[in-house]
Structure 1
Amino acid sequence: MTGSARPVRLATRDLLGLGLLGLRTRPGRAFLSALGIAIGIATMIVVTGIPASSQAALLDRLTALGTNSLQAAALPDQDPPAALPESAVAMVRRIGPVTAVSAVANTHSFVRRNDRVDPRDGSGLTVLASRLDLPYTINARIRAGTWLTEATGRFPAVVLGSVAATRLGITDLPAGRAAPQVMIDDQRFVVLGILAATPLSPDIDRSVLIGWEAARTGLHFDGHPTVLYVRCEESQLEAVRGVLAETIFPQRPGQVVVTRPSDALAAKRAAESSFSVLFLALAAVALLVGGIGVANTMVVAVLERRSEIGLRRALGATRGQIRGQFLCESVALATIGGLAGTALGLLVTIGYATWQAWPLVVPAGSATAGVGGAVVIGVLAGVYPCVRAARLTPTQALAAA
């Protein structure tokens, strides 16, 4: 009995050895081809990572401009004037997306530097009763001294806004010296601190801030807030704004004015939606060029190695084995370039972001797509050369050698 000989299937290890044979025998050409892929992958990572880091820095700056902040106040010029409920802060705090809420209230008092100044000369400043969490809510910083605490908020002590400090002639609070004092109505108040400028709340800059309880006991404050400052989740800003008036004053929501979202929010959303389309196109072009380089290398390799192909076919290698050899070589070449390009792109992105003091943002998909894209390029670039090599018969390959 006679039987047809069945071709032996190459093991993965043997196929990988054949695929890497061409790279070892022609290292210069392999290096240049891998370099083309590496540059393309590195370009893709750099042109996505650096704009992403720049965008993150820009968004952080826009967020600092109050993209998640709202203000609510009583409707002005009403007779009698509207008074917000004392429970307004507690009610707003119950809104799910709200992360912080605080309030101030106009005490309708006059402040002066000392008792020799005209009692009615308030220097254009406002005396406000303040909640203790106000600085956190409006992103205010203390330039000198300290902010009010649970203890000092009950005693005659004040914190000055930046403009108020300048107009009252108190620009610093040197350590070791007695704290300066100001007169509010006919009472002396110790200056505990001075705020830095608050661009989001210019009314605070022109104010003298005292504790809520101190205003009740010393200035006959009735406890009704004048302005509420609200911070919430940025994605829910419009929803919070829509229910804020009804939450603050359920009986008379029309008496509450809520500011519209900051213009910085529109700028931030525009920046998020226009993410580096040109740079992504550049990366795609770079990858295409790298893929063409690999395809060209593999086509030339087939032409130069026809004698090897013919000899292997004469010794019994199947077309599938020839295809597998050259496809493996193409994928290995592209993978080496992809790994090198990914590492290079990450290093450049990290270095540039650190130099610019930006937050480091490397899209996870870019690093993954670096190696994955290289493998895909290797497969696509190797299809035609490996098919061409497999079509050569032993006589054609040996005759052309």
Structure 2
Amino acid sequence: MTATLERSSLHAGDLLRVGSIGLRTRRTRAVLSALGIAIGIAAMVSVLGVSDSSKADLLASLDRLGTNLLTVQAGGGIGGGETTLPATAEQMLARIGPVERVASVTPVDGTVRRTDLVPSTHTGGLTVQAADPALLDTLAAELATGAWLDSTRSALPVTVLGAVAAERLGVTTGAKVWVADQWFSVIGVLRPVELAQDLDRSVLIGRDLAISALGADEAPGTVYLRTMPNSVDAVRGVVAATANPRDPDQVTVSRPSDAIAAKAAASSAFTNLFLALGAVALLVGGVGIANVMVISVLERRSEIGLRRALGATRRHISAQFLAEAVLLSAIGGLGGALLGTAITAVYDLLRGWPLLVPTTGIAGGFAAAVLIGAVAGLYPAVRASRLSPTEALRTV
């Protein structure tokens, strides 16, 4: 009578159980090894999340502020030296067909102080500028408090402060400040102006009063114009010749939204750098797992010999140690994904950004962790499977 030998098998449940033996018996070592993987995955997930949230906030700013704003200023020209825009530049630019709104600011020679008792040299880096009533709408700017300079207030000694100016002067709506050697009442404070950040450090007064009482130049210093969105490039091409027909080369035309777009591009460049650093951390974590698994094989030679003597095949032994490495890495990957998501959520909340955690980043990070674990555990698993039962049992 011939006996039939059944081929031994290792089911998924059994593989998970034997693969977790090393983790359960050496918990501290397992936690420290998984931590290396977790740090790498957390770095990658948080970098992707913060980058996407930042980019979404910048794009939202572009949508809110519009990309159809152009800024016109006097440039250096071919001969160099200081130049100014003609006094008629603003009116001429308003005649361009696709232009919807035009407004300007003009620098005023004068200092800004909280009180007349402060020396005139203590200006805090603030400037005085005469503003058109249409400036607020043209720049899509908003008031934090108070009112704006309308056509009536433009002839009165009142001022609207930029966000930084109000902070440095330590005043708000209702206070008075010493501007160009006379008192001005603060009737409003602007929120930060993203498309014209120079205004944040400015004290804005009415154009009429600036020209009549403070000797401001009638020629505008900077002209802002809004065009129809589909005509920006066409308008940009004729602005210089329209603003200064005699010397168009002495006119500089810029698009403030380009700076926001460039900031988004720069953020992507930094994202790639930090992702590379996260990948290095992940690789270091993989090396740590490989080291732990090699040591584990040496320490558990008796276990390997006993299992082989009881009928376990080389395939079973290699599967056990490979499963242990993958399980260890998977635990680190899951912990890292959760930690990276939490870091992203906290950072976005503090910055007031929309929360965006890319699922592809989480899934990709977890898959990378499992792959790193498999690669790191491959050599120790093969080494463990090649131990003969007699050699392994000598250590019992």
Match of 1:284 in 2: 279
CA distance in 1, matches of 2:390, 2:55: 61
Is the CA contact 1:85–1:248 (under 8 Å) kept in the aligned structure 2?
A: no
CA distance in 1, matches of 2:4, 2:228: 77
Alignment of 1:119-268 (within 5 A): 128=132, 131=134, 134-142=135-143, 145-147=146-148, 157-158=152-153, 162=160, 169-172=183-186, 199-200=197-198, 205-208=204-207, 229-230=225-226, 240-245=232-237, 259-262=253-256, 265=259, 268=263
Match of 2:21 in 1: 21
- Of the three residues 301, 314, 337, the one matched with 2:296 is 301
Is the CA contact 2:51–2:268 (under 8 Å) kept in the aligned structure 1?
A: no
CA distance in 2, matches of 1:145, 1:50: 35
How much has 1:379 moved relative to structure 2?
A: 0.6
Match of 1:103 in 2: 102
Q: Decide which structure has the larger Cα Rg and report it.
A: 1
Q: Secondary structure in 1 aligned to 2:254?
A: coil
Q: Secondary structure in 1 aligned to 2:10?
A: coil
Is the CA contact 1:73–1:228 (under 8 Å) kept in the aligned structure 2?
A: no
Matched, 1:91 2:98: yes
How much has 1:324 moved relative to structure 2?
A: 1.5
1:144–1:208 Cα change, 3 Å:
farther
Give me the TM-score of the superposition, normalised by structure 2.
0.59
Match of 1:343 in 2: 338
CA distance in 1, matches of 2:190, 2:31: 61
How much has 1:298 moved relative to structure 2?
A: 1.3
CA distance in 2, matches of 1:362, 1:127: 39
1:48–1:194 Cα change, 3 Å:
closer
1:126–1:369 Cα change, 3 Å:
closer
Match of 1:216 in 2: none
- Of the three residues 368, 371, 378, the one matched with 1:373 is 368
Give me the TM-score of the superposition, normalised by structure 1.
0.59
Q: Which segment is superposed worse, 332-341 or 311-320?
A: 311-320
Is the CA contact 1:137–1:231 (under 8 Å) kept in the aligned structure 2?
A: no
CA distance in 1, matches of 2:7, 2:333: 34
Gaps of 5+ in 2: 75-83, 106-127, 162-176, 209-221
1:376–1:258 Cα change, 3 Å:
same
How much has 1:82 moved relative to structure 2?
A: 9.6
How much has 1:36 moved relative to structure 2?
A: 3.1
Q: Secondary structure in 2 aligned to 1:29?
A: helix
1:242–1:165 Cα change, 3 Å:
farther
CA distance in 1, matches of 2:254, 2:130: 24
Is the CA contact 2:344–2:357 (under 8 Å) kept in the aligned structure 1?
A: no
Match of 2:35 in 1: 35
Matched, 1:389 2:384: yes
Q: Residue deviations 1:103-147, cap 9 Å, x none?
A: 2489xxxxxxxxxxxxxxxxx99795x55xx42431434476445
Q: Which segment is superposed worse, 374-383 or 287-296?
A: 287-296
Q: Which segment is superposed worse, 371-380 or 52-61?
A: 52-61
How much has 1:157 moved relative to structure 2?
A: 3.6
CA distance in 1, matches of 2:329, 2:88: 78
Q: Secondary structure in 2 aligned to 1:275?
A: helix
1:321–1:63 Cα change, 3 Å:
same
How much has 1:390 moved relative to structure 2?
A: 1.8
How much has 1:290 moved relative to structure 2?
A: 1.8
CA distance in 1, matches of 2:131, 2:45: 54
How much has 1:78 moved relative to structure 2?
A: 7.8
Is the CA contact 2:98–2:228 (under 8 Å) kept in the aligned structure 1?
A: no
CA distance in 2, matches of 1:38, 1:194: 47
Instruction: Give the counterpart letter for 1:244 in structure 2.
Output: R
CA distance in 2, matches of 1:6, 1:246: 88
Q: Residue deviations 1:238-264, cap 9 Å, x none?
A: x934543459999x9999866134598
Q: Secondary structure in 2 aligned to 1:259?
A: strand
1:330–1:206 Cα change, 3 Å:
same
Q: Secondary structure in 2 aligned to 1:140?
A: coil
1:157–1:78 Cα change, 3 Å:
closer
How much has 1:204 moved relative to structure 2?
A: 10
Percent sequence identity over matched residues? 40
How much has 1:292 moved relative to structure 2?
A: 1.9
How much has 1:333 moved relative to structure 2?
A: 0.9
Match of 1:11 in 2: 11
Instruction: Give the counterpart letter for 1:300 in structure 2.
Output: I
Is the CA contact 1:162–1:194 (under 8 Å) kept in the aligned structure 2?
A: yes
1:137–1:320 Cα change, 3 Å:
farther
Q: Residue deviations 1:342-376, cap 9 Å, x none?
A: 33344445446656x46477763554444223212
Matched, 1:313 2:308: yes
Is the CA contact 1:162–1:197 (under 8 Å) kept in the aligned structure 2?
A: no
CA distance in 2, matches of 1:276, 1:37: 20
Instruction: Give the counterpart letter for 2:139 in structure 1.
Output: I
Q: Secondary structure in 1 aligned to 2:71?
A: strand
How much has 1:383 moved relative to structure 2?
A: 0.3
Gaps of 5+ in 1: 93-100, 107-123, 174-192, 210-225
